[in-house]
């Protein structure tokens, strides 16, 4: 069975084509191996994100109970500078680090606001905490 153009775009390959295009078969094998690494990295990051949001959820409860605002610009400035530096050291484009920071801080703030609105009760957020 020969593959269509769209199958090729899925990076799949059949044995006949592997024989006809050994370079392509080598590329597909390399992509498959890299994808396993990417999947493993994602598993680790999802686990770490779970821990991060548990921690920020607890911060949200403490802030709501103490009457602190969800937002903390001094803390954010510190994080921006710190993550930029860590990204450069790790060989990551600092723009990616800043996009990551904006993503997690924005989501954490939304959850803090919901906790504060519920009078310091993490409530629905506890489904995942």
Please report, as ranges, the residues that interact with a second copy according to CB under 8 A: 8-12, 23-24, 27-28, 30-31, 34-35, 37-39, 41-56, 58-59, 62-63, 65-69, 71-75, 79, 82-83, 86-87, 90-93, 96-97, 99-101, 103-104, 107, 125, 127-129
* Nearer residue to a second copy within complex by CB, 54 or 121: 54
39-43, long-range: CB < 8 A, 24+ apart: none
Sign for the pseudo-dihedral over CA of 57, 62, 63, 67:
positive
Rounded to whole angstroms, how far apart are CA atoms 43 and 34?
14
Nearest distance from C-beta of residue 55 to a second copy, angstroms: 5
Which CB, 8 or 117, lies closer to a second copy?
8
The residue among 19 and 73 lying less far from a second copy, judged by its C-beta, is 73
By residue count, the chain amounts to 129
Q: Which is nearer to a second copy, 41 or 117 (CB)?
A: 41
Between the CA of residue 63 and those of 39, 75, 101, what are the distances in Å? 35, 14, 20
């Amino acid at each position: 069975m020969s593959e269509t153009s769209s199958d090729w775009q899925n990076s799949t390959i059949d044995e006949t084509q592997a024989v006809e295009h050994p370079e392509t078969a080598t590329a597909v094998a390399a992509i498959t191996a890299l994808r396993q690494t990417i999947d493993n990295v994602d598993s680790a990051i999802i686990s770490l994100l779970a821990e991060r949001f548990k921690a920020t959820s607890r911060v949200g409860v403490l802030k709501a109970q103490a009457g602190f605002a969800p937002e903390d610009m001094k803390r954010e400035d510190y994080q921006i500078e710190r993550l930029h530096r860590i990204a450069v050291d790790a060989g990551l484009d600092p723009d990616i680090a800043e996009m990551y920071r904006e993503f997690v801080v924005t989501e954490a703030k939304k959850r803090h606001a919901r906790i504060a609105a519920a009078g310091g009760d993490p409530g629905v957020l506890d489904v995942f905490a």
